[in-house]
Amino acid sequence: MSERMPVVFVSHGAPDALLMAHDTVECWSEIGRSISSPRAILAISAHWEERVPTVSLSDAPETLYDFHGFSDELYRMQYPAPGAPILAERAASLLSSKAMDSARNASRGLDHGAWVPLSAMYPKADVPVAQLSLARNTGPDFHFDLGRALSPLRDEGVLILCSGAITHNFAWLDWTGKKAAAPEAETFSDWIGDRIAAHDIKAMLDYRSAPYGAASHPSEEHFMPLFAALGAAENDAPERYRPRFTYGALSMDAYVWRS
């Protein structure tokens, strides 16, 4: 049997994290170095939502520039990892076994929620990657169950990488990058850190009742990958990484759950 793979959640920040957030990039690199080489990666990103969870069957996923207004250097970057269509089908099968509907996309590439952190974690782009979408308008409970359904992949040499945001309120951002972290964002980020450490799933599922919970996520899609990670992690102990906030309000916290 393969070594059981960890589950990873990263806050991917703004698309230019690779250029601007040097300590976050080093954090992602450290996480990649700390994990035995996976057979493949299943990436769940906040930047792909469908009616039902949808897997990409592309065997050569395109690097998607699903953003605008950033440095030209960012648009020249490529992440030419091979696809993992067999893994994608296996993920869909696991969802079906739990009576969860799924769909397939023949050609979708990797959005920046996937390829930006992967560029630091596995810079050689030599690990096959399949991407799985979120399910639109379904909420934390659904995505927690989604992660639980996918957890057997960990015993098959698959790294489950969930990419979203601990805080995602654009009204709090300081695009100059000169201000200290917004206290509201810090408060919620630490509340989440404490709840994860205590394995208090019930409180996290009701995160919108927490201090600045609803304000941290005016829309929920960037928080849903965390619940997928929590479900896949089962009862494993978390390790919290705390790079500096970016743009004054984007918590860049990352978590790794290991057996």
Sort strands 129-135 and 40-50 into parallel, antiparallel or unpaired: parallel
The pLDDT score that the predictor gives to residue 181 is 85
The pLDDT score that the predictor gives to residue 96 is 98
Joined tokens for residue 237: 């102990």
The pLDDT score that the predictor gives to residue 2 is 61
- The residues that bridge with 83 in the sheet, in sequence order, are 129
Percentages of the chain per state (helix, strand, coil), in multiples of 5: 40, 20, 40
Helix axis angle, 139-150 to 224-233, nearest 10°: 40
Taking the domains of the chain in order of start, what are their residue ranges?
7-258
The pLDDT score that the predictor gives to residue 1 is 46
CA distances from 95 to 42, 100, 106, 139, 155 (A): 14, 5, 18, 17, 16
Where b means 16+ CB within 10 Å and e means fewer, 216-230 reads bbeebbbbbbbbbbb
Selection from 16, 27, 8 nearest residue 252 by Cα: 27
Selection from 160, 58, 152, 177 nearest residue 118 by Cα: 160
Q: Which CATH number fits domain 7-258: 3.40.50.300, 3.40.830.10, 3.30.43.10, 3.40.50.2300?
A: 3.40.830.10
Residues 6+ away with beta carbon under 8 Å from 130: 40, 41, 42, 43, 55, 56, 57, 83, 84, 85, 87, 88, 91
The pLDDT score that the predictor gives to residue 3 is 81
Nearest-angstrom CA–CA distance, 58 and 55? 9
The pLDDT score that the predictor gives to residue 144 is 98
Intervals of the chain under pLDDT 50: 1
Phi and psi angles of residue 170, each rounded to the nearest 5 degrees, phi first? -65, -25
pTM above 0.95, yes or no: yes
pLDDT tens figures, 150-194: 999 999 999 999 999 999 999 999 988 777 889 999 999 999 999
